[in-house]
Amino acid sequence: MALHSWLLAALCLGAARAVVFEGGDPFREDAICSPPESSRPVGLCKRPHSCPVNRDGSWLPNCGLPGADANMQCCAHPSLPHPQGGRRSRRACLQFTKAKQHCDFQPPAAGSEVRIGDFPYFAGLGYKTRTGDGKTSWACGGALISENFVLTAANCARGSPSFGAPAKVRLGAVTFREGEGAGPDAQELDVAQVILHPAYNASSTRNNIALLRLADSARLTRAVYPACLFPEEQLPIHRVVLAGAGARSAERSDVGKLSKVDLPVVPFGKCQEIYKHSNTYIDELTTICAGEKGRDACVGDSGAPVVQKEAAPLCNYQIVGITSFGFRQCGSQPAVYTKVQAFLPWIEETVWGRS
């Protein structure tokens, strides 16, 4: 089925019928749906006895086809808020939601190989040397959060004396090495604007977060797709997943190849003890720690997101943190990640405006 921006493949079944989102089966209970007057998913297809808001006999839009299961209705669901409510980032996330028949996700093994489309939000950051030779070096990671913005770390966005700020992002690829092809699904887009968090402190790495505005909109495909932003202050999980193009071996020969590793979230008190003699800044409100011996971010992972997989029915990737810093000897101690939830107001205003 041809898709436009991979948003809706709607089954417009008449003015009184619900819209069932791409991938959804109107005869299947729990398909994500929306009332016909709304463009955002707000409910699940349910039979009346399973829909508490309809037990009083009130009318709800029908999910099924005429003459089919007329009892399958679009029922409000707590994980799908009303389109006019909730955070702007959450509403944007729901616009990108695709209903899935299955929601299979297993924590990946350390350093295991990834395929095109496994982490469609991942963005490699490309830097031009100041020598003017035209070559692009891929050094940091980031995450596509809308068609026009990539979220990354401020220390990656500000660049260095040798390379300056990132000039390009590469999406839809698993290879980020100079001179190597990116593959047929890849998109390389110019960076139009680098936006550092206004309170970023380079010496302490405080507020280490930034946004890159793209010169052209990313074309959303199976290999290029935005991630959502985790909205809660407290993490309900004990593990996160890092996908990055950093080193996974002592020889660091694998830098530039996208890989994934699951990381345990480390209690803040333990993290504070580990980093108490460093000159870096950590606090429980704006940073999190994750990793253990042999499982860690490393050279080349700065700016890459750590994510969790949201449960059914959405099955989205949600960005929990952005790789900030760690010990020089990778895998010896947990690394520190900028906590995305603490910066949602700034991200939302910059990306989606005040409305």
Is the pLDDT score of 153 beyond 80? Answer: yes
- Per-residue pLDDT of 198-221, as tens digits, reads 999 998 899 999 999 999 999 998
Q: How far is CA 149 from CA 140, 153, 169, 269, in A?
A: 15, 13, 10, 34
Query: CA 246 from chain center: how many Å?
Result: 18
Distance CA 148, CA 56 (A): 44
Under 8 Å between Cβ of 25 and 18:
no
CA atoms within 13 A on the CB side of 29: 7
Query: CA 276 from chain center: how many Å?
Result: 30
Classify residue 161 by burial, with Cβ atoms within 10 Å: 0-12, 13-18, 19+: exposed
Q: Can you name the CATH fold of 228-341?
A: Thrombin, subunit H (2.40.10)
Classify residue 153 by burial, with Cβ atoms within 10 Å: 0-12, 13-18, 19+: buried
Structure confidence at residue 91 (pLDDT): 81
Q: Where are the alpha helices (DSSP H) in 2-151?
A: 88-95
- Nearest in space to 51 (alpha carbons), one of 24, 77, 79: 77
Q: What is the average pLDDT across 261-268?
A: 91
Structure confidence at residue 73 (pLDDT): 73
Is the pLDDT score of 36 beyond 90? Answer: no
Is the pLDDT score of 95 beyond 80? Answer: no
DSSP E strand boundaries for the chain? 19-20, 32-34, 43-46, 73-76, 112-113, 122-128, 136-144, 149-152, 168-171, 187-196, 210-214, 228-229, 239-244, 259-266, 287-290, 305-309, 317-325, 335-339
Under 8 Å between Cβ of 213 and 193:
yes
Under 8 Å between Cβ of 84 and 109:
no
Q: What is the average pLDDT across 12-16?
A: 31
* 348 sits in which H/E element: helix 344-352
Domain with CATH 2.40.10.10 in the chain: 117-224+345-352, 228-341
Residue 324 confidence class, pLDDT cut points 50, 70, 90: very high
Which option is the CATH number for 117-224+345-352: 2.60.40.10, 3.40.50.300, 2.40.10.10, 1.10.3720.10? 2.40.10.10
Helices (H) and strands (E) in the chain — how many of each? 4, 18
Classify residue 104 by burial, with Cβ atoms within 10 Å: 0-12, 13-18, 19+: exposed
Under 8 Å CB-to-CB from 126, ≥6 apart: which residues? 136, 137, 138, 166, 167, 168, 169, 170, 188
The backbone region for 178, taken as left when phi is positive above 0, alpha when psi lies in -120 to 50, beta otherwise, is beta
Tokens linked to 105: 């996700």
Structure confidence at residue 250 (pLDDT): 54
CA atoms within 13 A on the CB side of 218: 33
Q: What percent of the chain has pLDDT over 70?
A: 69
Q: What is the average pLDDT across 115-126?
A: 91
- Per-residue pLDDT of 38-81, as tens digits, reads 545 557 777 766 665 554 444 466 776 444 445 677 776 655 55
Has this prediction a pTM greater than 0.95?
Answer: no
Is the pLDDT score of 252 beyond 70? Answer: no
- Candidate from 57-61, 187-191, 226-230 with smallest mean pLDDT: 57-61
Residue 193 confidence class, pLDDT cut points 50, 70, 90: very high
Distance CA 1, CA 7 (A): 12
Residue 27 confidence class, pLDDT cut points 50, 70, 90: low
End-to-end C-alpha distance for the chain, whole angstroms: 33
